Amino acid sequence: MSLSTSITLASFYISCHAFPSALSQRSTTPTLASAEVIGTVSDPTWNRDSCTSIGVFGRELWTCRDSQSSSAFLSSSASWTDFNSSALPAIDSDGVLNMYGDNSDSVAYFPVQADECGPSPAGGCADGTRYAIWQNSRPMIAGSGSSSSAALYSWITRSHIASDLSNLDPTPATSLYRSDYAMGLASSQLPPVTLDSIPYGTYGWVQDSGHSYLYAQMSNNAIALARVPTAAVEDVSQYRYYTSTGWTNTPPIDGASEAVVPNAGTGGQGTFYYSQYFGAYVWIGIGAIGCNANFYVTTAPAPEGPWSTPALFYAGENGSNECGAYSQQAHPELTNNDGQGNYIYVTYTKVDGANVGYRTPLIKITWA
Ligand SMILES: *[C@@H]1O[C@H](CO)[C@@H](O)[C@H](O)[C@H]1NC(C)=O
Ligand SMILES: *[C@@H]1O[C@H](CO)[C@@H](O)[C@H](O)[C@H]1NC(C)=O
């Protein structure tokens, strides 16, 4: 089975910075100063749904869900965007932040496995159901210590859905995909590693100097949290699990109330990151699972909280489709200071009718 997708790299730089301990900080509620739609993130070849992004080697790597070209339909694809000489997104005179990169026509970027109705690159099954191998949050970068290579991890639930999008398996397992990037080499993915039944990492992540904190959405939609040394993401024995009485070695039962991290997001899609501007961890995302262009924010002094009550800070333009707006994300590395200053870029998927396809408005949010 071939699992490679070639996306070539041109320059080297890993976006990273030390995250200060913020335990003495209190939760704050960010306030909007201004919001401006500054462009559209767009790929000339692919019509792409629900994109996330992460900074890699001086460019931005975007991963998106369902991606259609004139000859292919994939459950995921990936692309690059460039920065300009001000280290800001290189938006052209037509207002387009151009995505590029070589996607296979026959293999999804997060390859659909044989027991997920692969080789269909969209996970389509003969009985009309589908394995929707769709990421909810951006890949996590784990620096190799080298200035020219890095591993990127993506946790994705093996969702088996009916044609009406209802879930056929209420507690799907999670696959861990790893993409290895090296200067001058094509990217590749390893076969998925199946983790615990609570899908840690699928809901987002933050990192401090040595640890990765991995958020999960349990089947009752509440958020749970695990942590692991960043160098040991693939070693399940090194995971520790947050409970209201402390970190434990034993994964909590799905839905356990002591595992819940209250207000760590709304339950809908979004992005976690650390902000020096607020001296806090931040989550930005959609108000709730569903269709709208509303953006909510919550902050916390530590990954495990306490998180402030998610607050609405921006309402984007709805698309005209019945479900015209969804998949809100924030893009810290798209800023010229990794999201540490007074502004952040956000996107969502906007759908205005079948002929137009998916749009990805790029919005600059400036905080008061
Ligand atoms: C870089 O792009 C930003 C928009 O992302 C634009 O405001 C700025 O003027 C550009 N800078 C240069 C030097 O082209
Ligand atoms: C967009 O649609 C949602 C869901 O119907 C609604 O709650 C929201 O107010 C709408 N936003 C705007 C800006 O009209």
Q: How far is the CA of 306 from the centre of ligand 2 (A)?
A: 29
Task: Assess if residue 10 is contained within a domain.
Answer: no
Residue 22 lies in a domain: no
Strands (E), 94-148: 96-98, 130-132, 140-143
Quick check: helix, strand or coil at residue 230?
helix
pLDDT score at 145: 58
The greatest distance separating any two alpha carbons of the chain, rounded to the nearest whole angstrom, comes to: 55
Say if residue 119 is preceded by a cis peptide, omega within 30 of 0: yes
pLDDT of residue 108: 93
CB contact at 8 A, 262 and 305: yes
Distance CA 46, CA 64 (A): 10
CATH classification at residue 73: 2.115.10
Residue 20 lies in a domain: no
Question: Which domain covers residue 180, as residue numbers?
Answer: 32-367
- Tell me, what's the pLDDT at 68? 96
One-letter amino acid at 17 equals H
Index of the ligand 2 atom closest to the CA of residue 318: 1
- 3-class SS of residue 167: strand
CB 350 within 8 A of CB 363: no
Give the number of the atom of ligand 1 that is nearest the alpha carbon of residue 84: 1
Residue closest by Cα to atom 5 of ligand 1: 89
- Pocket lining: 324 vs ligand 1, CB cutoff 6 Å: no
Ligand 2: centre distance to CA 324 (Å) = 10
Closest ligand to C-alpha of residue 287 is 2
Q: Is the CB of 295 under 6 A from ligand 2?
A: no
Angle in degrees, CA 261, 265, 271, rounded to 5: 120
Distance in angstroms (rounded) separating the CA atoms of residues 130 and 162: 6
Phi, psi of 348, rounded to the nearest 5 degrees: -150, 170
Flag whether 101 is in a domain: yes
Place of tokens 């500054």: 38
Please indicate whether residue 292, judged by its CB atom, sits closer than 6 Å to ligand 2.
Answer: yes
DSSP single-letter state for residue 334: G
Under a CB-based contact definition with an 8 Å cutoff, are residues 119 and 34 in contact? no
The structural domain count of the chain equals: 1
* pLDDT on residue 102: 86
Residues 341/277, Cβ–Cβ less than 8 Å: yes
Structure tokens at 11: 């320059």
Of the ligands numbered here, which is closest to the C-alpha atom of 363? 1
End-to-end CA separation in angstroms for the chain = 51
Q: Which residue has a Cα nearest atom 7 of ligand 1? A: 88
What does the pLDDT read at residue 367?
A: 97
In a domain, 5, yes or no: no
Distance of CA 49 from the midpoint of ligand 1 (Å): 26
The Cα–Cα gap between 98 and 154 comes to 23
Strands 32-42 and 96-98: parallel
Cα 350 to middle of ligand 2, angstroms: 12
In a domain, 213, yes or no: yes
Predicted TM-score (pTM) of the model is 0.85
Mutate to test the pocket of ligand 2, among 292, 296, 314 (most ligand atoms within 8 A of CB): 292
Q: Decide: 60 and 89 in contact? Cβ < 8 Å.
A: yes
What spacing in Å lies between the alpha carbon of 206 and ligand 2's midpoint? Answer: 30
Question: Mean pLDDT in each 10-residue stretch from start to end of the chain (368 residues)?
Answer: 28 30 56 96 96 92 96 94 96 96 90 91 96 95 73 91 92 85 54 54 93 94 95 89 94 93 96 97 92 97 96 96 95 96 97 86 97
Do the domain assignments include residue 23? Answer: no
Whether 104 is covered by a domain: the verdict is yes
pLDDT the model gives residue 61: 93
Q: Which atom of ligand 2 is nearest to the CA of 290?
A: 4
Q: How far apart are CA 69 and CA 109, in angstroms?
A: 14
For residue 329, give the nearest of 273, 278, 269 by alpha carbon.
269
Q: How far apart are CA 107 and CA 97, in angstroms?
A: 25
- Length of the chain (residues): 368
Ligand 1 lined by 93 (C-beta under 6 Å): no
pLDDT at site 304: 96
